[in-house]
Amino acid sequence: MYYCSMYFFDSKIRVRYGETDQMSFVYYGVYAQYYEVGRVELLRSLGVTYKELEKIGYALPVVNLNIKYKKPAFYDDELTIRTTIKELPSAKIIFHYETLNAKNELLNTGEVVLVFMNKKTGKPCFAPEIVMSKLKEKL
């Protein structure tokens, strides 16, 4: 396992009314979508897009999602989704998350594991060189 210098990227999201439940909290399942925004924007910050990865023959299915809830977020809150890569990918890439409110309070932590998959064969494969080289540049 190779470790990198914890490359991270912060994405800002404002909670929309339709993302809240009857208790006025952000519905728990919405955080999976917020995390997706975080990882897409982290990759974009490296100069890599999902669209580009798909074009060169890769898919990235989610194989595991874990979230630990600590405090709720509410309608119209501005949230920071801090997305971190702590280790270089292999056939899988692990994204770590922290959701913070405007007061910088930790609302939840999470982890999402995705696998690089060859779209032609449907089988797992190693991370493409474009991802590896961009991450190595950030070390």
pLDDT at 139: 61
Mean pLDDT by 10 residues, the chain (139 residues): 69 97 95 98 95 96 98 97 96 98 98 98 96 87
Give the residue extent of every domain in the chain: 3-137
pLDDT at 4: 47
Q: Is 77 a catalytic residue?
A: no
* Catalytic residue (choose from 10, 21, 76, 77): 21
Please give the full DSSP string across the chain, using - where no structure is assigned. --EEEEEEEEEEEEPPGGGB-TTSBBPTTHHHHHHHHHHHHHHHHHT--HHHHHHTTEE--EEEEEEEE-S--BTT-EEEEEEEEEE--SSEEEEEEEEE-TT--EEEEEEEEEE-EETTT--B-PPPHHHHHHHHHT-
**Considering the domain 3-137 in this protein, what is its CATH number?**
3.10.129.10
pTM, whole model, 2 decimals? Answer: 0.93
pLDDT at 97: 98
